Amino acid sequence: MNDEARPEKAEQPTGADKNTPKHEALYDRFVEKTNELFEKGQEKSEGAWEKSMEIAREQMVVAGEFTTEQGAVFKQYLRRDLKHTRTDMQKLGVSAKEHLNPARLGAGALSTLSRLLYATGGALLNLSEKTEGVLLYKTGEVTMAGTLTCISCDHVMQFKQTTVVPDCPYCENTSFRKGY
């Protein structure tokens, strides 16, 4: 971690500008960092993953890359993205595995997560937790690549990279189902 190498930002974005690429890039970095820490560790459990997320969050807060609050929110996003990806892999079996094949994905959080899920050989797929209904993604949240389907009008948007969830361009609804 070399903080000195990071150039000083000319200006800090103020307010909640959802359209800056900053959030997407930060989220990708957060996922990558978490995965690096997880890969270095001996244990490949859910608990070890949680620990890796927490260390990654702390490091990025200390480095001034994001605030404590933002880090906490990113952990929620990542927990959900992992859960969703894992559930899809379980439910869809082979077709999801083809879809989420790391070789087919570019850079970014989705690629990192699917590499992780392949590498752990399903260790992280064995979860006691129940999936409580459909996970909804809301406007303004950050999520990995994939599709977002408007729960109101069924309009589907495809994202090839990590993105901040927009409003539905057709009905301005703010809740979506995620797919790949």
Residues near Zn ion (CB under 5 A) are: 150, 152-153, 155, 168, 170-171, 173
135: region left, alpha or beta (phi > 0 left; psi from -120 to 50 alpha):
beta
Q: Between residues 73 and 135, which has the closer beta carbon with respect to Zn ion? A: 135
- Closest residue by Cα to residue 124 from 91, 96, 83, 92: 83
Q: Between residues 104 and 170, which has the closer beta carbon with respect to Zn ion? A: 170
Q: Between residues 63 and 170, which has the closer beta carbon with respect to Zn ion? A: 170
Q: Residue for token digits 């409580």?
A: 132
Q: What angle do CA 25, 111, 134 make, to 5 degrees?
A: 90
Q: Within 13 Å and on the Cβ side, how many CA atoms surround 43?
A: 8
Distance CA 155, CA 86 (A): 24
Q: Between residues 107 and 153, which has the closer beta carbon with respect to Zn ion? A: 153
* Minimum separation from the CB atom of position 175 to Zn ion (A): 9
* Minimum separation from the CB atom of position 108 to Zn ion (A): 25
DSSP designation for 135: P
Q: Between residues 33 and 178, which has the closer beta carbon with respect to Zn ion? A: 178
Distance CA 27, CA 141 (A): 11
* Minimum separation from the CB atom of position 139 to Zn ion (A): 11
65 close to 29: Cβ distance less than 8 angstroms: yes
DSSP 155-173: -EEEESS-EE----TTT--
* Minimum separation from the CB atom of position 73 to Zn ion (A): 24
* Minimum separation from the CB atom of position 77 to Zn ion (A): 22
Q: Between residues 136 and 171, which has the closer beta carbon with respect to Zn ion? A: 171
* Minimum separation from the CB atom of position 106 to Zn ion (A): 27
Query: Tokens at residue 2, please?
Result: 């070399």
